[in-house]
Every structure is written in C-alpha cells, then in structure tokens.
Chains A and B, each alone.
Chain A
Amino acid sequence: MRAKILALLLVAALIAAPLAVPLARAQEQPPELTGNWQQDVIALGKWFQAHGVTKIHFSVQAAGDPNSVMRMYGIVEAANRINKVWADNGINVKITVDTYWESDFKKQFDNFVTQYDLGQNGDFFVNSYIYIATLAADGRLLDITEWVQKYWNSVFSDFYAPLMKAAQYKGKYYGIPQDTEARPLYIRKDVAKCMGWDLTGLAEKVKKGEFTWADVFLKAKEAKEKGCADWGLIHRRGSAHPDLIQFIFAYGGKLYDNKTGKLVVDKTAIYKWFATEAAFADAGLLPRNILDWDWATQIHPTIVGESKAKGGTGNTLFDIGGTWYWTEWQTKDYYLDPHTHQKRPLTPEEVKEKFYYTLFPAGEKGDKPVTLSQPFMWMIAANTGKDNPHYNDPAYKKAYEELAFLIVVAASDPVINAVHSIISAHVPVRKQASALLKNKTFINNLVNLKLPFSQQVIDAIAPIVKKTANPINIEFLANVSYMLDYTHLAPSHPYYNKLADIFKDALDKVLKGEMKPADAVNYVVQKVKADPDLKDNTEIIGEIPAHWSLVPQATTTTSPAAGTQGTATTSPAQAQTTTGKKGGGHTGLIIGTIVLIIIIIAAWLAVRGKGQ
C-alpha cells in the first residue's frame, strides 16, 4: 500500500514538475523600471538572458513624407543603442527591428487596424496623435502612464507641455511626441514685389492681429488684378483638413469642449470660415475645385511655380501650408524651370528668396492669429512583443512591454529629434532638441554626417541630410518655433474624423457654388444630427451671423462660374428654407420607395398566383 502511495506521489511529482517550471517563471517578474535608462536597460537585458531569451524581434510601422524617415530609423537607432549597452555589459541578447514605411499616414492607420487582430501589426506605430483616441478606446495601444511618470524628471519634463497633453486619452498616456509642426501662411516675395507690396514687418502685424483675413483677401485681389499672380490663395485638398480648420480657431471658434469631452460645431466660426473661402472662390482668387487638386502635380507646382503668362505652372500670392513644405520644395521636382523647361527641386536659396511666412492671420480685428499642430507620436501596440518567445507568459509580456518603452525613450533622444526636425522641417518636441538647432558644433557634425548613430541609420539618411541640412533650413526652423505659442490641436476624439469629413464635403459644396455658406453650415448640422455617434458626442453652439461678410461694405464679385452664389453673405432664413425642403423630400421619397417595394412584391405574388 505504502509502495503504491509512493509510486502515485512520484508520478504526481513528475507530472507537476514541468508545470511548476513555467509557474515559477511566471512569478519571476521582470525588474520594475526606475527612471534611469541605462540601469533599466541593463537590468532588463540580464533578466532576458537569465530567462533564455537571446533574440528579440520588433517591427515598426511609420508614415510620412520622404524626408521623415527618422520616424522609422529612430526606433532602429534606439534598438541599436540598447544592443550596444548590452554588448558592453556582456549581456548576450540582441534586438532586431523590421521597418514598414507608408507615405500616406491614413493608409498606415488602415494597415495597423486591419492587421492588429490578426497579430500582423507592428510593435511600434508612428503616426498622428489624432489616432490615439480611436486606438486607445479600442484597447490597441499600450498604456504607458506609469512609466512616463517614472521617466518624467529625467526625460519627459523636457518636452513641450501641450504636446505631452496631446499624447493622452482620458488622462492616460498612450504615446510619446515624436515631432510637431506649425502651419504658416506662405507669401510669395516675388509676387508681392510685383504688386509693390513691402512685406517688412508683416509677421509682427499678423502676430498683433492687425493683419486679418480681410486684408489677405484684398491683397490677393490686388495681386490678381495687377496681373502678378494667377491665383490669390492656394491650399491643400480636403484630406488636409488640419490646414483649413485653422479658420475656426482664427475666427475665435472651438472644436472641442474640454469640460464635456464632446466635439463642438461652432456655427458662427464655421460660417465665417466658409464665407471667407467662398469670397476667395467667387472672386476667382481660389480655384473652385481646389479640393480636387492633386498634391504633386497641381498644388505644389502652383505654389512654387512661375506665372502661366511666363510659361510656368501658375503662381499664387498666398498659400496655407506646413513647415515641412520648406524642405519638400527642396527635394521634390515641383518647380518647372523656365530656362530648361524641366521640373526640378528648388535650392534652399531659392526657397528663401521666394517665400515669406507668418502665422495664420486672425479672422477679424480682435481675434488672434493661430497655427495648428498635429504632432506625430511614438505609439506602442498593446500586443507588443507578440512575435517573441513565451509572449503569453505575463512576466515575459511585461518584459517586452518595458523594453518597447525603453526603445521609445531612446528614440526620443534630443539628437535623434533634432536631426529629424532639420531634415524634415518639423519642429522639435523637446527643449534640448530645440537648443541643438542653435548649436554650431552639432550642425557641423550633422552636415558632415558625424552623428552618434549606427552606420545603418547614417547610410539611410545620408542623401536626405545632403539635400536638406543647411543654415537656411535651420534658420527657418528657428524662426517658426515661436508659432508653437499660438498653436491649437485638432480634437483627439474617436469621432473627429467623421466630423472632419463632413467639413470637407460642406466646404467643397461652398467652393463649387453648390451651397451658400449658411446652407453649408446647416448641412453640417444636419449631417451631425443624422449620425447617432456624432449626435451623442457633439455640441452645436452659436448662430449663423446675419449679414456678415469678409470685407465689410464690399460685396464680392460674382463670377460666371459661381452659379447660384453671389455674395459672401447669406440670410440664415433662406438657408433654413432650403434645408427644410430637403427634409420634406426625404420623407416623401422614403414612403415612395416603401410603396414601390410593396407594389413590386404584390405584382410578383399576383403573377405567381396566375402562373399556378
């Protein structure tokens, strides 16, 4: 009997032993992060080594213009630095990083969400902060609040506060700012000179709110009337709504209510935005189909080009753009050279010679000038580390998450951030990086590619550095940095994209003369109310101002193409009538459709009966 019991115990012990090992492992948690990067990296490396992990694999999904590749190589460089620390300390663990690049950041978001539940997404997602709300609400981003707090003093207190705020969703951190930008109003110096306009001191006037959108309109009109420009104003197409929603802020409106956490449709400000653009379009200063214009073949060639009269691609006096345009014009073939008749990039000197820049002017006297930032973020996927050994063990999972966070901390290094800012014309996210822009030694090292980066990263960015790292670009970045004091952020709300889409459709209708500005505001309201998600998450405030026009006492001229559109002013009552009619038509059509379906079914049944 005793022998039987002993045998049973032995068998039980043999069965329990393999189970006990993972259990013991699971209880052995990785070291907690302390806020000291070097120390944390070494401790974590030792933990991995002790637990038999020698190879760790991560991947990064990043997006942006061709000069912004440090969004991807920043992670690669950070991993290489950790590898070096481990190697220096005799730790036999190595990280490898796969990189995935997509020029269209929306497409990269699509890739990320469709791949996520299949486990095919990247561990790092480098994209606009506007996706934080959506992804965090869906549980697809790692909550890094605890670690951000631990690294606050050593790293994150150096970041610009509004940008760190943009990394939050419902009070928790789901990302770390990677870069940001301002959206200046660019003014062509040669066009201004042609019309006899001295730009000296204009940036100051804009800053003080003395030069408003009414002045922009009058100057644009003058430029066109004097034959100096083909267009008065050019801006990007509808997908670039951040450029355009600056109008809402410039007219003193808002898009988000911090107290309720809801989106805001500010009818007054939106009406003024639409009316302003309508005035430009009616006067032939802004192409009616600008929202259909192509980025590379129409928009930029017109911004940088010579007038059509001179055989160029057309030109404009004003352009609403972003800071990154500055280097994009130097790397892309947008300029049609009148001498060679070939397209080529502009030189830094030419860009400086052609463009003046200011803040986005105030809507009216008394309003404030603005700019808008849409910072990019390093985001860590909630399933980071999924491709590595023992991921399903909570201890290992936590270790991979900690390592991913340490990689992001390393990627936020001031040198990496400053290099990225210079070569992509984005604004640094932290003060130490901003200081480096004024550091001559650093600049010299960058120009000569003497950077503390691994050879893999230096090789990747060398051609871009060659084209973009020069004193003119660095001076530009330093000059636009003040704009961040005037910056606004687009709402970080899961349904903001839906609202932005409605703005885009409404503006398109206004520009093409399909709707008057007041009708378009009512269209926005109607669309918001028709969408249960938006309806529950949006406040509608303000009223359409009666008899408001961009330029008081002067009505804008009606171009033949304007169709039903005359002046920039519209009676709200008129708009109500139009919308009301539409609503009535709907009910009729719905009933009509239902009746039609019933008739078809009845006919079918009748025919069927006859057949039998």
Chain B
Amino acid sequence: MRASRTLNNPLFFLLPALLLIIVFYIIPLVITTWVSFTPLRNWRITLLSKYIGLENYRDLFYFITHDPDGILVLKTTVVFVVFTLIVNVLGGLLLAIATYIIEEKVSLTFRLLWLLPRMTPLAVFGLIWYYFFYGSPQGTLNAFLLHLGLIDKPYFWGTDPRLLPWSAWAIIVFVNGLVGVSYGMIIFYSAFKSIPPELITAAKVDGASTWQIIRHILVPMTRWHLVFVTVWQLLSLVTSYTHLFVLVDWRIVDKWHGTTWALFVFNEAFGDVKNQGLAAAAAVVLVIIGVLLGLVTLRIMRFSQTTPEPKGDL
C-alpha cells in the first residue's frame, strides 16, 4: 500500500532529474550570482565572504559604455548568435531534407560526413582551420585562391583590418556552423523518418512535387522539432565559447572581433586578468538574457501548441 503510494507520487519520478538540476544548475547559478557580488580575483577564495554590492555590475556597464572594445563584444555576440543560428537551423533542415530524399546508402555516408566536425576533437578541428585560414601562401585557402588567380597575394583572413569585421565574423560563424549544423540535421532527419510513409506516397500519387511535399508535409509535421532545435541552438550559441577560444587564441581571428560575451566571461575568469567577480556578473547577465531569449522564442514559435495535453486518464 505504502509502496504504491510512493510510486503514485510524481515527486518520486521527478527526484533524480530534480537532483541533477539542483546540483549541476541551481547551486552553480546561486554560487555564480553570489560571486558576482564579491571581489573574487586570482581565485582568492577567502574573498568570497566579502560583499561588495553591485560594484562588478557597475564595472561591467562601465566596460561596455567606455571601452572601445566593449561594444564590439556585444556586436560580435549578436552577429555570431543570429547568423550561426540561421546556419544551424536552416542548414540542418536543408541537410535533413537532402539526406531524406536521396537513397539511404548514400544518405548514411552523407550524414556521417557531416557529423565529422562534431566528432573531431576540438584541438584537431582548430588546427584544421588554423592551416586553412593561415595567412601565408601555404595556407589552404590562400593557396587555393592564388592557384585560381583570384587573389594576387595571401591574406590573413581573420585579422587583416581591411577585411574586418565581416571576415572574422564570417570565420566564426562558418566554423561553428559546421559543428552545429549536424545537430539539426540528425533531429530533423529522425523527425522526417517518423512521418507515416503513406502520407508521402499519397501526396506523390496526387501528383505533389518534391517542393510541395517539403512545404506541406515535412516542415509542418516537424514543427515541434523546428522549435526545439531553434531554442536549443539559440541557448547553446549564447553560451558557447570553446571553438571561439581556439580561433582567437591561435590568432585565426582578431581578438575582439572573435570575442563573444561568453568568451569574454571565460577570459575574465581564466585569462590573464582573473577577475572572477566581474566574470560572474557577466555570466549572470548572460543567464538572464539566455532565459529571456529562450522564453520569447518559445512564445513566438508557439511551442505550447506543438505539445498538446495527453489524452485519457492516468
């Protein structure tokens, strides 16, 4: 009787997930928020007990408004998130459609190839792009363009001031897009596969073109997945910094044209400056923006309508 009551309690089933969320999300968030009100620097943990109010937030605002590179961090973040999101969602959708339409054997190879950037270790992936965009005639891109006669001398693609800011932004979007696009591809592809094949066959019998099948069957029936991938990718991009770190640290792109808000947080905390208090303040702002963006996107894309209430009694 007692065991049955326990099993009927929803908390029992939620507990493992709740514990994980509390331990790995809520507690770090609370700690980060607290750190943002302390003067923690150089990992001097004893400073954690010193409360300094909103000083770090004031310094952060001061950085954005007064530092010539402060505003650049914001611009880079907006450009990076918006364009990479477009690449990841629309690119993922296009790849999924392509792999859905073509023959399964070829499709499998094609999907595996697109998964390579995601499977490649970060250092190796960074090295590939280091040599690809390298500013000497031996750099892959330069060598290729020189060979075709499209340029007459090599370029430092990510750092040449004549090409900035868009060259650096294009590189960070391109490199991150290559990694992220496969995520959408897999989700969308599996969603297409779950659509009853009779629907496609019926449409074909009725004389629907491929475009019409895509427009009227595939996309509408995978709306939930579209919303999910968009929100997931949006939140990932807002907080993503690892690939950017490699691109900036290896000087493939200009420092400030490759630094997003998330990378700024990382550099403040772990770079030469080691101002963990300020980094925490920037991280808290990032979390707030992320939550707002996530909620707004869910609303705009009408996420609730894509997940109807379950029918019947439990």
Contacts and interface: CB of A to CB of B under 8 A. Distances in A.
Interface of A: 106, 110, 113-114, 116-117, 134, 138, 140, 289, 292, 497-498, 501, 505, 508-509, 512-514, 523, 526-527, 529-532, 563-564, 579, 582, 585-587, 589-590, 593, 597, 600-601, 603-604, 607-608, 611
Nearest to A495: B273
Given A530-B62, A563-B161, A589-B75, A498 B273 contact: yes
B64 interface: yes
Contacts of B64: 586, 590
Contacts of B63: 530-531
Nearest to A239: B272
A117 B299 contact: no
- Residue of B41, B42, B75, B300 ringed by the most chain A CB atoms within 10 A: B42
Contacts, number: 104
Interface string B227-248: 0000000000000000000000
B272 A523 contact: no
Contact of A527 (B42, B67, B289): B67
A156 to B, nearest CB: 29
Given A563-B162, A604-B295, A529 B66 contact: yes
A589 B68 CA distance: 12
B290 interface: no
A529 B70 CA distance: 13
Given A106-B272, A527-B67, A509 B292 contact: no
B161 A582 contact: no
Interface in B160-191: 160-162, 164
Interface in B41-76: 41-46, 58-59, 62-71, 74-75
A590 B74 CA distance: 9
B70 to A, nearest CB: 7
A117 B292 contact: no
B274 interface: yes
B45 A512 contact: no
Interface of B: 41-46, 58-59, 62-71, 74-75, 135, 156, 159-162, 164, 251, 255-256, 270, 272-274, 289, 292-293, 295-296, 299-300, 302, 304
A586 B66 CA distance: 8
Contact of A600 (B44, B67, B272, B296): B296
Which 5 pairs across A and B sit closest by C-beta, in order of nearness? Answer: A514-B161, A530-B67, A530-B66, A117-B45, A292-B251
Nearest to B155: A561
A589 B162 CA distance: 23
A61 to B, nearest CB: 15
A604 B299 contact: yes
Contact of B299 (A134, A140, A608): A608
A512 B161 contact: yes
A526 B270 CA distance: 24
Contact of B292 (A497, A513, A597): A597
A509 B161 CA distance: 8
16 contacts: A113-B44, A116-B43, A117-B43, A140-B44, A508-B255, A512-B156, A512-B159, A513-B162, A523-B68, A526-B67, A531-B67, A532-B62, A586-B64, A587-B65, A589-B71, A600-B296
A343 B41 CA distance: 44
Contacts of B59: 531-532
B42 A289 contact: no
B71 A586 contact: yes
A603 B300 contact: yes
Given A292-B251, A586-B70, A603-B300, A114 B43 contact: yes
A585 B71 contact: yes
- Residue of A114, A526, A586, A587 ringed by the most chain B CB atoms within 10 A: A586
Label chain A's interface by main secondary structure.
helix
Given A526-B68, A600-B296, A607-B299, A292 B159 contact: yes
A590 B65 contact: yes
Given A497-B272, A497-B273, A604-B295, A117 B46 contact: yes
Contacts of A505: 69, 255-256
Nearest to A608: B299
B70 A138 contact: no
A388 B88 CA distance: 55
Nearest to A604: B296
A117 B71 contact: no
Contacts of B135: 289, 292
A138 B296 contact: no
A590 B72 CA distance: 11
A148 B205 CA distance: 95
Contacts of B41: 138
B37 to A, nearest CB: 16
A530 B70 contact: yes
B159 A289 contact: yes
Contacts of B304: 611
A22 B26 CA distance: 44
A117 B43 CA distance: 8
Nearest to A515: B161
A447 B36 CA distance: 57
Nearest to B273: A498
Contacts of A116: 43-44
Given A563-B161, A585-B71, A526 B292 contact: no
Contacts of B273: 497-498, 501
Given A512-B159, A514-B164, 13 more contacts: A113-B42, A113-B44, A113-B274, A140-B44, A292-B159, A527-B67, A530-B66, A530-B68, A531-B63, A589-B71, A601-B292, A604-B295, A604-B299
Contacts of B62: 530, 532
A497 B46 CA distance: 23
A231 B63 CA distance: 39
A113 B255 CA distance: 25
A517 to B, nearest CB: 14
B272 A138 contact: no
A597 B289 CA distance: 9
B161 A513 contact: yes
B314 to A, nearest CB: 26
A501 B272 contact: yes
B65 A586 contact: yes
A119 B65 CA distance: 39
A157 B218 CA distance: 84
A23 B184 CA distance: 68
A228 to B, nearest CB: 22
B302 to A, nearest CB: 8
Contacts of B70: 530, 586
Contacts of A590: 64-65, 71
A277 to B, nearest CB: 15
Contacts of B274: 113
A138 B75 contact: no
B284 to A, nearest CB: 15
Nearest to B75: A589
Nearest to B56: A532
Contacts of B75: 589
A527 B161 contact: no
Contacts of A586: 64-66, 70-71
A585 B293 CA distance: 25
A574 B299 CA distance: 49
A289 B302 CA distance: 49
A512 B42 CA distance: 32
A508 B41 CA distance: 27
A458 to B, nearest CB: 38
A289 B292 contact: no
A564 B160 CA distance: 12
A106 B271 CA distance: 10
B231 to A, nearest CB: 14
B251 A526 contact: no
